[in-house]
Amino acid sequence: MSTLMGGAMSVVLFSASRSFPSEIGGLREWGGALLCLVTGAVLLALRNGPMPKVVSMLGMNATLLWGIGLTLIGTEKFYGVRPSWRMVQGCWGLGMAAIAYWMLAEPDFATRVAIFSTFVCACYSRQLWLVVRHGERQFPTLFFGMLMLVQTLVVIVRGVRALYDGGISVDLLRPGPFLSVYMATSSFMVLMLAVGFMTMATRRLQTILERRSTRDPLTQVLNRRGFADVYARERALMQRERRATTLLSIDLDHFKSINDRYGHATGDRVLVHVAGVIGKALRASDQVARFGGEEFVVLLPDTGLERAGNVAERIQEVLRAPRKDDLPAYTASIGIACQLNAEEDLDGILQRADGALYRAKALGRNRVEVAEPASLPTRVALG
Ligand SMILES: Nc1nc2c(ncn2[C@@H]2O[C@H](COP(=O)(O)OP(=O)(O)OP(=O)(O)O)[C@@H](O)[C@H]2O)c(=O)[nH]1
């Protein structure tokens, strides 16, 4: 039953591979892997059926090994690692040739199990390594990593037992306690693998969608919505810790003429450049956002006017300095507003920062202006 559900999940993965964003790689391979694992299980079930046993057993080994190889390729693609197709194809070919030899020419079940287990162990342990190296600290990754660990241990035990007792205790065609446990975990594992693949993919999808809804696609800094979330968290901290927060409103000067003279594509590159310059002038806890057009807003938590002024000057210095790239020269005007009271909201502080910015524009551009404090009771001192 769980094998069949694993098969159904392969259809889900195939359709997800068509509809999910292309940043989520490996879904097709995972879907193919499940299909192969299910086919392998069906061939095992049909070993006493109409097909010659040797055909069904060779077919079962071929599809299971290929399916397990595909899980590895899928996981590599999922983590953006170059897929090791050649290695998997080569090992699969060699493994199948060896299994066929020890099945047809010199029948030796224990050796066949050892070969099978080595291939599976290599594929799953590599995936475990990928999860440890690249996996995010989230439940789906932990779940998938545990699956890989359990699978690796199960095949190691099976391979070692096969070599120890000549394969008697692990023969899939001979009923026994180990066989029951092995068959149960294997078919359950197909379903668990399907669940693992799907939860990893949907968690990645959630991260991408969250990122898309809170980031500006051109510069990759926060957009207005992302900034509002960050500001709300900062405002809560302000309320608790009574600390100052400062906002910079940054607007490029005569940006329209850059677009008109050099083209929209160059204008876009200028915007990306500005976002980089601003980002480099900030600490890790500071946040930058693009509010559309050529306007950027910076949140400087736990910062008074003095440091904010230094940050603004540093940004302007870098923008003014002669550059080695091919971008046109440009400058920016900056308005600064310091918030000392959590009762002021985002609209309030933005309005004051924008007011200072317009004054900087009116006074000739390429300068920094500071907004008057909000007309609300002051609770903390400037730092
Ligand atoms: N390349 C590019 N241009 C944009 C983008 N968004 C808005 N713009 C352009 O930004 C320009 C903004 O022009 P204005 O609002 O007149 O501002 P300005 O020319 O910088 O003048 P001042 O702000 O008064 O110094 C317009 O030409 C918009 O088309 C964008 O994503 N990419």
pLDDT 10s per residue in the chain (383 long)?
667 788 888 999 999 999 999 999 999 999 999 999 999 988 887 777 777 888 888 999 999 999 999 999 999 999 999 999 999 999 999 999 999 999 999 998 889 989 999 999 999 999 999 999 999 889 999 999 998 998 889 888 888 887 787 666 556 556 666 666 666 777 788 888 999 999 999 999 999 999 999 999 999 999 999 999 999 999 988 888 888 999 999 999 999 999 999 999 999 999 999 999 999 999 999 999 999 899 999 999 999 999 999 999 999 998 888 877 889 989 999 999 999 888 889 999 999 999 999 999 999 999 999 999 877 554 444 43
CA distance to 170, 225, 349, per residue, from 345 (Å) = 69, 15, 6
Helix (H, G, I), strand (E, B) or coil at 56: helix
Strands (E), the chain: 245-252, 287-290, 295-300, 332-339, 368-370
Please give the Cα distance from 178 to 161 (Å, whole number).
10
254 lines ligand 1 (CB under 6 A): yes
Residue closest via CA to ligand 1's atom 6 equals 293
Our answer to whether residue 136 is catalytic in this structure is no
Helix (H, G, I), strand (E, B) or coil at 246: strand
Token pair in block for residue 69: 């190889």
Please give the Cα distance from 142 to 144 (Å, whole number).
5
Residue closest via CA to ligand 1's atom 16 equals 256
Nearest in space to 286 (alpha carbons), one of 328, 329, 343, 227? 227
Please give the Cα distance from 78 to 29 (Å, whole number).
10
Residue closest via CA to ligand 1's atom 23 equals 253
- 207, HSE (Cβ side, Cα atoms, 13 Å): 12
Report the run of H or E that residue 253 belongs to, with start and end.
none
Q: Which of the following is catalytic: 29, 76, 234, 294?
A: 294
Instruction: Return the CATH number of 224-370, one of 3.90.1560.10, 3.40.50.720, 3.30.70.270, 3.40.630.30.
Output: 3.30.70.270
In the reported structure, the alpha carbon of residue 330 is separated from the centroid of ligand 1 by a whole-number distance in angstroms of 13
Kindly report the pTM of this predicted structure.
0.74
In the reported structure, the alpha carbon of residue 245 is separated from the centroid of ligand 1 by a whole-number distance in angstroms of 28
Burial label, 380 (beta-carbon count in 10 A; 0-12, 13-18, 19+): middle
252 lines ligand 1 (CB under 6 A): yes
Ligand 1 atom closest to Cα of residue 252: 20
Residue closest via CA to ligand 1's atom 32 equals 268
In the reported structure, the alpha carbon of residue 318 is separated from the centroid of ligand 1 by a whole-number distance in angstroms of 21
In the reported structure, the alpha carbon of residue 219 is separated from the centroid of ligand 1 by a whole-number distance in angstroms of 15
